[in-house]
Each structure stands twice: as structure tokens, then as C-alpha cells.
Amino acid sequence: MAGFRAVVVTKGETGTKAELTTFDEADLMDGDVTVRVSHSTLNYKDGLALTGKAPVVRRFPMIPGIDFAGIVETSAHPDFKPGDAVLLNGWGTGETHLGAYAEKSRVKGDWLVPLPKDLSAAEAMAIGTAGYTAMLCVMALERHGLTPDRGPVIVTGAAGGVGSVATALLAKLGFHVIASTGRPQEADYLKGLGAAEIIDRAELSSPGKPLAKERWAGGIDSVGSHTLANVLAMTRYGGAVAACGLAQGMDLPTSVAPFILRGVSLLGVDSVMAPKALRLEAWSRLARDLDRAKLAALTSTVPLEQVIEAGSSILDGRIRGRVVVTIA
């Protein structure tokens, strides 16, 4: 079989190494659908896989990249046929299953979602797993009954991928969005996405009180650790916080006080293994509710040849918004 371009992570005695190389199609993993990948994106987890700074890769060699958009090339799955436009988020791609930073990917058809008709492949990857996760968080807050009239909402890590899309989505839905960021130079960018207020992440990132002054009705947190603890401590009675990340840390140094004294709810959001019905709903909402002009404003593009360097940049906090990776 023919070879194709791919970024491959290998492991040696001195650690892992990522390089752009030629990969043999015969070495693709099992699956009933082969996709010609046109676009992918860069997530924080992809940065960890490319740099080896955290053990997210579970087998070697590995092609990183946790999401892609492309065209079905061959299919033995009843829901897809050659020529169909599809996208994929999660399911262990880039970690346990060969991922998206390649011109081809072979996966299980059950992992795929039809590309919404109103989205191009590039737009879908501008949204990517980060934006899809942000939508899942918004939907979780809505299921809890959070509405704009309940009060402001906080978005932490607001200049990042999840935070940028969450800010744009919540603002379009009518919420008063408070954006927390450690990059004050991004204030105009965040206000352009719809943020009504900007606060310094330093207000939230240090150890705080079990309960603090009530400041918001809910929030979306991609940071974890002390930041999430403080967000919970400042959430109004009956409010809710959707948690989906751990950029500051995996720990949660809080108490039961917000939960039993204010009735606050902590909503865990997982995007990797979310059931297909939830994925379809999220992507349908994204195609409908996300302002395309704002999506374009928060998006930059790099070719596959530059994704390894970009992986280091996202871990260093030098990337804002979303990065589309052009594959083919």
C-alpha cells in the first residue's frame, strides 16, 4: 500500500520524539472506515502528546491528533459511504489509536459524526474538540436550568480554546460573561468575543476560603485546582459550574461548603467518550449558535509541517483561541 505524510511520535531511551515522516497505510490500525483527512486542530492534549511533557500517549509509535475532518475513502460501516464528509473527536485517537496528524486515518465508524451541512471542514476544526467541549458545558448548564436572568457566568482560561468558544457561545445566548485570563493583553480579543468583564486569573488561582462572596450564577472551568475551588466558593445559591479541564492541576482543594450550604452543583463534562446522540446535538447546536465571524476571529491556521512547534507553543501559553491544522 502507499505511504502518506504523518507526524509520528516514537519512544526511545531518552524519551519521546515527534517528527514528520512517511507512514505506511498497511500499518494503520483496525477500523471499518478509512478517511482522507483534510483538517485537524491543536488542543492542549495534543501539545502534551507532541512534546512528551505528560504521558497521554499510551502506545508507540503514535500519530497524535485527537480530532479531524475529512472525506470517507472506504467504508464497511452502514452509516457511511465513500465521499461522505465526516468529523471525529476523541475516542482515544492520538492516545491509544493512531490519530489525526496524518493524511489518512482508519477508525471505527461508530466514532464518526457527519459533518454538519452548514459547516466547512476548516470551520469544524476551528471549533474542534475544544469548541465541542465548550458546547457540552453550555448544554450541561442549560440542563441545570441556568438562564441569563439568573446572573453572570464566569469562564476561566478564557483566552484558550475551550474558553474562547465558551465565551462566544454564552455571549450569543445572552449571558453576561466574566472572562478570567492571565493574559491582560487579550482583553480586547475577549471583549470582541462577547465578554462583558475581564478579571485577572490571579484573583482565583491561589488558595481561598471555603465560601466567599457570591459573584456569579455559574461558570465553565477548564483549569481545575484552586481556580475551580474558588469559582465554586463564589457561585451563587443554586448555581452550577461545568468542569472540563485541568490546566492548573488535577487536584480540587475545596470543601463541601458550597454544595451543602448554597446548593451549588459541580457538573463534570467529558467529551472523549460522550455518546453519539449527545455529540450530534452538540454539533447541531454549534452549527446554529456559534457566530461564524467570532469563530474566524479566534482562529489561526498552521500547516502540518508546523504542528510540532505549535505543540510547544500551546503548552507555553503562547496560543490564543483555536488553531486549525491543514493536512492535505
**pLDDT of 262-319, one tens digit each?**
999 999 999 988 999 999 999 999 999 999 999 999 899 999 999 999 999 999 888 8
Residues 98 and 191 in one domain: no
The residue range of the domain holding 25 is 3-115+298-326
Burial class from Cβ neighbours inside 10 Å (0-12, 13-18, 19+) for residue 13 reads exposed
CATH number of the domain within which 108 lies: 3.90.180.10
**pLDDT of 12-58, one tens digit each?**
988 999 999 999 999 999 999 999 999 999 988 999 999 999 889 99
- Per-residue pLDDT, 105: 97
* pLDDT at residue 1 greater than cutoff 70: no
- Distance, in Å, from the CA atom of 172 to the CA atom of 11, rounded to the nearest integer, reads 45
**pLDDT of 232-263, one tens digit each?**
999 999 999 999 999 899 999 999 999 999 99
CATH number of the domain within which 224 lies: 3.40.50.720
Q: What does the block give as the cell for 250?
A: 488535577
- The rounded mean pLDDT for the chain is 95
Residues 142 and 262 in one domain: yes
- Distance, in Å, from the CA atom of 307 to the CA atom of 74, rounded to the nearest integer, reads 27
- Per-residue pLDDT, 295: 93
Residues 9 and 84 in one domain: yes
Residues 37 and 90 in one domain: yes
**pLDDT of 64-117, one tens digit each?**
999 999 999 999 999 999 999 999 998 999 999 999 999 999 999 999 999 999
Q: Does 282 map to a domain?
A: no
Q: Does 123 map to a domain?
A: no
- Per-residue pLDDT, 112: 97
